[in-house]
């Protein structure tokens, strides 16, 4: 696989501060969740397609690399305005999912939990022995939640005391069963759906809370018999897929950074173009509006399975405190570090509960958010499953990210929006996992270059 650029992460030398105004129009990277699924599904499909991804980060490129390891003919071709086009030749026959070319495969999933969990589901359908490994952070993340249902379907899946590496030996047909998931996880749901394409009969999955429905939308668009009714997903197999080209829309979790920054900044007007408007991904918009933000949504025709449109957020005065718990939390899981920044800039005491899942992300995000909020001057108390926070006296801070891209971006936004007077990020390059143009977009909206951001960054 050839990638037609080299990125240059920012040096960790200087502070990030709030600009006098925050204005501009940007396009964020393509949605990671959709990109992973579109690449994998087209590799399993009959025919050829092109999946176009804007500014793919490290996680998406990890999935591309995993497909190449499986023998899928996929390559990176010409980049236009940071958009890269991946031609994918599927091997499907129209009545069953593809059989990949290799029988003994070891996959490096690096830091991508989505890659590992989705490929565990795909591997359960393959006549191969597949070993899935990760970096030290990923190899601390729980995997029995995906291994257990696939075992019940008939695949041989082993873990190391519930953790990676995983070893999967697939079979066909798999057993069609009902699954009650203990955790509301779109990754686990997606893995089961991919496996169910090779199952004989109707597979159903019930989740305890809301999850993203990208898998259902995409597989249905590509010809699978799949439907969601509330928290129950039903898929009938065996089922082939038809290859379909698509341009993956912008990532709402990346757009979230600028929504929070503009909602808090005293002089802001920011537009983000071409973002996925999937209803399961707009929980942050609802939260910010509830806190008092002014956010406009303009739908557009995206030509694919996902609704697409533009987002605009403008200064609307002081945000108000909020309490978040229960089912609302799962829909915000990736955006919760940014929600913490909004809470720290709001009037009153805000509280997050029922977010223990943050403990097993790329870092312990509860501990990391609390530590760094305290460092920037917020009044914050750590809870077992969340935090309690109110606005404090902003100050300069050195931010410890533990290599977590969500923490790095959240606390850059804290400085940009005035929740901190300035921050220095210890590992600014870690944002490349999901948002390789983050620092360039920060420069665009702030109207100047920061000392920590070398000229030409993102070129």
Whether 459 is in a domain gets the answer: no
Whether 456 is in a domain gets the answer: no
Whether 125 is in a domain gets the answer: yes
Say how many C-beta atoms besides its own lie within 10 A of residue 18's C-beta.
Answer: 22
Q: Residue 366 pairs with which residues in a beta bridge?
A: none
List pLDDT tens digits, range 123-178: 999 999 999 999 998 999 999 999 999 999 999 999 999 999 999 999 999 999 99
Task: State the Cα–Cα distance between residues 103 and 128, nearest whole angstrom.
Answer: 4
Looking at the structure of the chain, the number of domains it has is: 2
Say how many C-beta atoms besides its own lie within 10 A of residue 227's C-beta.
Answer: 12
Note the pLDDT of residue 12.
40
Task: State the Cα–Cα distance between residues 153 and 237, nearest whole angstrom.
Answer: 13
The rounded percent of the chain whose pLDDT value lies above 70 is: 92
Residues 235, 281, single domain; the answer is no
Whether 289 is in a domain gets the answer: yes
Q: Supply the mean pLDDT for the chain.
A: 91
Whether 2 is in a domain gets the answer: no
Residues 224, 330, single domain; the answer is no
Note the pLDDT of residue 14.
72
Say how many C-beta atoms besides its own lie within 10 A of residue 218's C-beta.
Answer: 26
Q: Is residue 384 classed exposed, middle or buried when 0-12, 13-18 and 19+ CB atoms within 10 A define those classes? A: exposed
Residues 206, 300, single domain; the answer is no
Say how many C-beta atoms besides its own lie within 10 A of residue 262's C-beta.
Answer: 31
Residues 219, 294, single domain; the answer is no
Last residue of a domain, one of 246, 261, 296: 246
Helices (H), 6-88: 32-43, 58-69
Task: State the Cα–Cα distance between residues 115 and 209, nearest whole angstrom.
Answer: 22
Q: Find, among 48, 46, 52, the residue nearest to 30 by Cα.
A: 52
List pLDDT tens digits, range 342-382: 999 999 999 999 999 999 888 999 999 999 999 999 999 99
Say how many C-beta atoms besides its own lie within 10 A of residue 458's C-beta.
Answer: 20
Task: State the Cα–Cα distance between residues 339 and 359, nearest whole angstrom.
Answer: 16
List pLDDT tens digits, range 302-345: 889 999 999 999 998 899 999 999 989 988 999 999 999 999 99
Beta-strand pair 246-247/48-54: parallel
Task: State the Cα–Cα distance between residues 437 and 28, nearest whole angstrom.
Answer: 8
In which domain, by residue range, is 363 found?
A: 22-29+249-446
Q: Is the pTM of this model over 0.85?
A: yes
Domain of 330: which CATH number? 3.65.10.10
Residues 68, 144, single domain; the answer is yes
Last residue of a domain, one of 246, 263, 295: 246
Whether 454 is in a domain gets the answer: no
Residues 64, 135, single domain; the answer is yes
Return the structure tokens found at 214: 């990208």
Task: State the Cα–Cα distance between residues 316 and 346, nearest whole angstrom.
Answer: 12
Catalytic residue IDs: 334
Helices (H), 237-305: 252-264, 283-291
Residues 287, 419, single domain; the answer is yes
Last residue of a domain, one of 246, 277, 297: 246
Whether 174 is in a domain gets the answer: yes
Whether 457 is in a domain gets the answer: no
Please give the order of strands across the beta sheet that includes 129-133. 104-108, 129-133, 163-169, 156-160
Residues 186, 271, single domain; the answer is no
Residues 231, 343, single domain; the answer is no
Residues 180, 227, single domain; the answer is yes
Residues 423, 383, single domain; the answer is yes
Residues 73, 191, single domain; the answer is yes
């Amino acid at each position: 696989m050839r990638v037609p650029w080299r990125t240059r992460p920012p040096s960790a030398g200087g502070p990030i501060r709030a600009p006098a105004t925050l204005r501009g129009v940007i396009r964020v990277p393509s949605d990671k969740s959709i990109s992973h699924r579109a690449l994998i599904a087209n590799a399993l499909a009959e025919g050829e397609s092109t999946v176009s991804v804007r500014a793919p980060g490290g996680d998406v490129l990890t999935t591309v690399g995993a497909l190449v390891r499986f023998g899928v003919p996929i390559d990176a071709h010409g980049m236009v305005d940071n958009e890269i086009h991946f031609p994918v030749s599927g091997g499907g026959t129209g009545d069953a999912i593809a059989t990949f070319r290799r029988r003994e495969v070891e996959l490096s999933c690096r830091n991508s939990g989505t890659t590992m969990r989705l490929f565990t589901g795909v591997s359960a359908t393959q006549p191969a022995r597949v070993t899935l490994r990760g970096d030290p952070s990923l190899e601390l993340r729980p995997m029995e939640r995906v291994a257990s249902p696939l075992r019940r379907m008939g695949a041989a899946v082993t873990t190391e005391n519930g953790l990676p590496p995983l070893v999967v030996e697939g079979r066909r047909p798999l057993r069609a069963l009902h699954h009650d998931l203990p955790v509301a996880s779109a990754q686990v749901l997606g893995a089961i759906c991919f496996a169910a394409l090779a199952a004989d009969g109707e597979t159903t999955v019930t989740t305890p809370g809301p999850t993203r429905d990208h898998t259902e939308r995409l597989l249905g668009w590509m010809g699978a018999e799949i439907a969601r009714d509330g928290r129950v997903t039903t898929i009938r197999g065996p089922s082939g897929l038809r290859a379909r080209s698509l341009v993956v829309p912008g990532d709402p979790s990346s757009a979230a950074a600028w929504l929070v920054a503009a909602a808090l900044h005293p002089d802001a007007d920011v537009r983000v173009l071409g973002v996925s408007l999937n209803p399961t991904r707009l929980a942050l918009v609802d939260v910010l509006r509830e806190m008092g933000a002014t956010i406009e949504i303009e739908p557009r025709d995206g030509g694919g399975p996902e609704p697409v449109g533009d987002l605009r957020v403008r200064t609307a005065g002081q945000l108000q405190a909020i309490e978040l718990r229960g089912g609302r939390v799962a829909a915000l899981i990736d955006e919760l570090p940014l929600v913490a920044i909004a809470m720290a800039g709001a009037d009153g005491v805000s509280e997050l509960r029922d977010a223990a899942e943050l403990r097993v992300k790329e870092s312990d995000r509860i501990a990391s958010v609390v530590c760094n909020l305290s460092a920037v001057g917020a009044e914050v108390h750590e809870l077992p499953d969340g935090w309690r926070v109110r606005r404090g006296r902003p100050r300069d801070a050195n931010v410890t990210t533990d290599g977590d891209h969500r923490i790095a971006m959240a606390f850059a936004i804290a400085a940009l929006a005035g929740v901190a007077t300035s921050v220095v990020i210890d590992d600014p390059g870690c944002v490349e996992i999901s948002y390789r143009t983050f620092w360039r977009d920060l420069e665009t909206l702030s109207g100047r270059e920061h000392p920590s951001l070398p000229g030409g960054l993102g070129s």
